[in-house]
Amino acid sequence: MSQVSQVREIGVGLLGLGNVGSGVVQLLADNAAAIEERLGARVVVRRIAVREAKKRRKVAVDRRLLTTDARAVIDDPDVAIVVELVGGEAEAKQYVLHAIERGRHVVTANKALLATHGPELFAAAAKRGVELYLEAAVCGGVPVLRALREGLASDKIEALHGIVNGTSNFILSTMTAEGRPFDEVLAAAQREGYAEADPALDVDGGDAAHKLVVLAMLAFGARVRLADVYVEGIRQITPVDHAYAERFGMVVKPLVIARDHGTEGLELRVHPTMIPKRWLLASVAGVNNAVYVTSRALGHSMYYGRGAGMMPTAVAVVSDVLEIARNVLGRSPGMAATSVPRLTRRAVRDIGLLRSRYYLRFAVLDRPGVLAQLAGVLGKHEVSIAHVTQEGKEPERAVTVVILTHEARERNVRLALAQVAKLASVVEAPRLVRLCE
Ligand SMILES: NC(=O)c1ccc[n+]([C@@H]2O[C@H](COP(=O)([O-])OP(=O)(O)OC[C@H]3O[C@@H](n4cnc5c(N)ncnc54)[C@H](OP(=O)(O)O)[C@@H]3O)[C@@H](O)[C@H]2O)c1
Q: Write down all domains in the chain, each with its CATH number in brackets.
A: 2-141+310-344 (3.40.50.720), 145-306 (3.30.360.10), 352-435 (3.30.70.260)
pTM, entire model: 0.96
CA distance 286 to 126: 38
What is the pLDDT tens value at each position of the chain, 437 positions in all? 544 457 899 999 999 999 999 999 999 999 999 999 999 999 999 999 999 999 999 999 999 999 999 999 999 999 999 999 999 999 999 999 999 999 999 999 999 999 999 999 999 999 999 999 999 999 999 999 999 999 999 999 999 999 999 999 999 999 999 999 999 999 999 999 889 999 999 999 999 999 999 999 999 999 999 999 999 999 999 999 999 999 999 999 999 999 999 999 999 999 999 999 999 999 999 999 999 999 999 999 999 999 999 999 999 999 999 999 998 888 766 666 788 889 999 999 999 999 999 999 999 998 889 999 999 999 999 999 999 999 877 666 789 999 999 999 999 999 999 999 999 999 999 999 999 98
Residue 274 in contact with residue 435, Cβ under 8 Å? yes
CA distance 11 to 271: 42
Cβ-based neighbour number of residue 256 at 10 Å:
27
Ligand 1 pocket check for 109: Cβ under 6 Å: yes
Ligand 1 pocket check for 10: Cβ under 6 Å: no
- pLDDT, residue 19, reads 96
- pLDDT, residue 335, reads 65
- pLDDT, residue 3, reads 46
Ligand 1 pocket check for 16: Cβ under 6 Å: yes
CA distance 50 to 56: 11
Q: How far is the CA of 88 from the centre of ligand 1 (A)?
A: 8
Catalytic residue among 211, 380, 393, 422: 211
- pLDDT, residue 328, reads 85
Q: How far is the CA of 22 from the centre of ligand 1 (A)?
A: 10
Apex CA 25: angle with CA 19 and CA 29, to 5°? 140
CA distance 40 to 45: 17
Residue 152 CA, distance from chain mean position? 19
Ligand 1 closest atom vs CA 113: 45
Known active-site residue 211: yes
Q: Is 221 helix (H, G, I), strand (E, B) or coil?
A: coil
Closest residue by Cα to residue 321 from 11, 8, 103: 11
β-bridge mates for residue 271, sequence order: 255
- pLDDT, residue 396, reads 67
Distances (CA, A) of 428 to 353, 375, 376, 397: 26, 17, 19, 13
Residue nearest to atom 10 of ligand 1 (CA): 109
